[in-house]
């Protein structure tokens, strides 16, 4: 408890990160309860196209007469779901492979790191685009594609942390006591390697949301759901005639991604107070 209070105190000193956490909490709250309170199907043509904001519809309508506010609220849920799920999947894969490579070294390290470097040589967005294009675009396939292109950087980070920890006195003491490798990895080394993993994992959520938005903009998303990137893609034909159509979902993406990045920066400062300001 004392360590948690110290962590929260350090995090609270970063006002930008504190404000970003409040904004992110609001976005998550709107994603959860918004579609329930504003129960309009984002695919329903509820009015005339090109209706301006602050009229009959709070944020206006798009080129097909669909309610933009309904799209923003439902899109928040899908975009956050894809971002968080992809980040968790990529983090799990990266931690597992990085831990094995860093702890055992030798042939296992060479094999896993050469595989990781192979994935790192491929441009991540292009790779995700190809994967989604090969399989039918669904929420699951988009999430899986983003996870596949996101795990290598996490694996390299975790490998470095395990290499730094495996020679420490407490690890040698665990081996001398006959503790099995899996217990040393999961219960001894991993908790000490978690702070940078949490920071990078939070930033991976932001990257995943941006990647999903790019795929949706190109039409490579599930046609049965609305996401912010999909809304931007639909509105691109009306950029000059109705700029609010593209600016509203674009602003939602900007605010959410910026908030996640600032929260990640705050976590980094809280976990590593000695590095703050460098």
> 191: which residues sit within 8 A by CB, 6+ positions away?
none
> Which residue ranges form the domains of the chain, and what is each CATH number?
2-44+55-275 (1.10.3720.10)
- Residue-wise pLDDT for 160-190, tens only, equals 999 988 888 888 898 888 889 889 998 889 8
> What confidence category does residue 47 fall into, taking pLDDT thresholds of 50, 70 and 90?
confident
- Residue-wise pLDDT for 209-267, tens only, equals 999 989 888 888 888 888 998 899 888 888 888 888 999 999 999 999 999 999 988 88
> What confidence category does residue 100 fall into, taking pLDDT thresholds of 50, 70 and 90?
very high
Q: What is the largest CA-CA distance in the chain?
A: 74
């Amino acid at each position: 408890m004392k360590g948690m209070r110290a962590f929260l105190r350090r995090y609270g000193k970063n006002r930008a990160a504190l404000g970003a956490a409040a904004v992110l909490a609001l976005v998550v709250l709107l994603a959860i309860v918004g579609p329930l309170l504003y129960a309009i199907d984002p695919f329903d043509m509820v009015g005339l196209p090109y209706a301006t904001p602050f009229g009959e519809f709070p944020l206006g309508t798009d080129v097909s007469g669909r309610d933009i506010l309904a799209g923003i609220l439902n899109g928040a849920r899908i975009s956050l779901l894809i971002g968080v799920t992809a980040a968790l999947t990529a983090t799990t894969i990266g931690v597992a492979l990085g831990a094995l490579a860093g702890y055992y070294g030798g042939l296992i390290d060479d094999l896993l790191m050469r595989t990781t470097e192979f994935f790192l040589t491929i441009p991540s967005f292009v790779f995700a685009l190809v994967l989604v294009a090969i399989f039918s675009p669904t929420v699951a396939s988009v999430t899986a594609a983003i996870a596949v292109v996101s795990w290598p950087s996490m694996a390299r980070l975790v490998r470095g942390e395990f290499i730094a920890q495996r020679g420490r006195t407490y690890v040698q003491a665990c081996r001398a006591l006959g503790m099995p490798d899996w217990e040393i990895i999961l219960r001894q080394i991993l908790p000490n390697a978690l702070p940078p993993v949490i920071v990078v994992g939070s930033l991976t959520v932001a990257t995943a949301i941006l990647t999903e938005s790019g795929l949706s903009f190109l039409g490579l998303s599930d046609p049965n759901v609305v996401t912010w990137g999909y809304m931007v893609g639909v509105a691109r034909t009306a950029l000059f005639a109705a700029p609010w159509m593209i600016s509203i979902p674009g602003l939602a993406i900007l605010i959410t991604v910026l908030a996640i990045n600032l929260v990640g920066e705050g976590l980094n400062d809280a976990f590593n107070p000695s590095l703050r300001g460098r």
